[in-house]
């Protein structure tokens, strides 16, 4: 997998309100991932419907939209080798009660509905691009080289 695979990550309103942005960013950086873009923003209903449209027919959809629009989020794009899979592993399962200790949700999540973080689905090949395009314009993403890349990746 290319070192420059991009993946979308969002600290949800509960994570922002609890002051967890720095903790989450730190964990992703410690893993060797590289931040390519970040935006502290308020999601409106239209964007929430676009982002979570696949769940529109599910009973939890209205609550999901209400929650994600209830406060600011930190939308981010991260890069790295197999970045989407890495982030999904670091996040842990959707339900924090079932997430392994050491994962973001296992350590920081408190509730199924308010589980601190969203990341692109690694099983949906178009999810990354779709979510990144929904939240970021290409010129908002920075292509840069970390000076420690040779210490993080074997073939850097």
Please give the positions annotated as active site.
Answer: 118
CA neighbours closer than 13 Å in the CB half-sphere of residue 52? 23
Residue pair 132/8 in contact by the 8 Å Cβ criterion = yes
**Residue 105 annotated as part of some ligand binding site:** yes
In the chain, the DSSP E strands lie at 6-11, 34-42, 72-79, 117-119
Nearest to residue 103, comparing CAs of 125, 122, 115, 75?
A: 115
**Residue 88 annotated as part of some ligand binding site:** yes
**Residue 31 annotated as part of some ligand binding site:** no
**Residue 135 annotated as part of some ligand binding site:** no
**Residue 12 annotated as part of some ligand binding site:** yes
Whose tokens are 């409106």? That residue is 44
**Residue 8 annotated as part of some ligand binding site:** no
| Binding-site residues for ATP | 12, 60, 88, 94, 105, 115
Binding residue numbers: 12, 60, 88, 94, 105, 115
């Amino acid at each position: 997998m290319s070192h420059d695979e991009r993946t979308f990550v969002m600290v949800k309103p509960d994570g922002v309100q609890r002051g967890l942005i720095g903790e989450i960013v730190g964990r992703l950086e410690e893993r060797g991932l590289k931040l390519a873009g970040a935006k502290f923003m308020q999601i409106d209903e239209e964007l929430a419907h676009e982002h979570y449209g696949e769940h529109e027919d599910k009973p939890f959809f209205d609550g999901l939209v209400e929650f994600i629009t209830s406060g600011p989020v930190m939308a981010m794009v991260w890069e790295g080798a197999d970045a989407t899979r890495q982030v999904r592993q670091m996040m842990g399962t959707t339900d924090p009660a079932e997430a392994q200790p050491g994962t973001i949700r296992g350590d920081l999540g408190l509730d199924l509905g308010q589980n601190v973080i969203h990341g692109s689905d690694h099983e949906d090949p178009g999810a990354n691009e779709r979510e990144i395009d929904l939240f970021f314009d290409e010129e908002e993403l920075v292509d840069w080289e970390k000076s420690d890349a040779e210490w993080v990746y074997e073939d850097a």
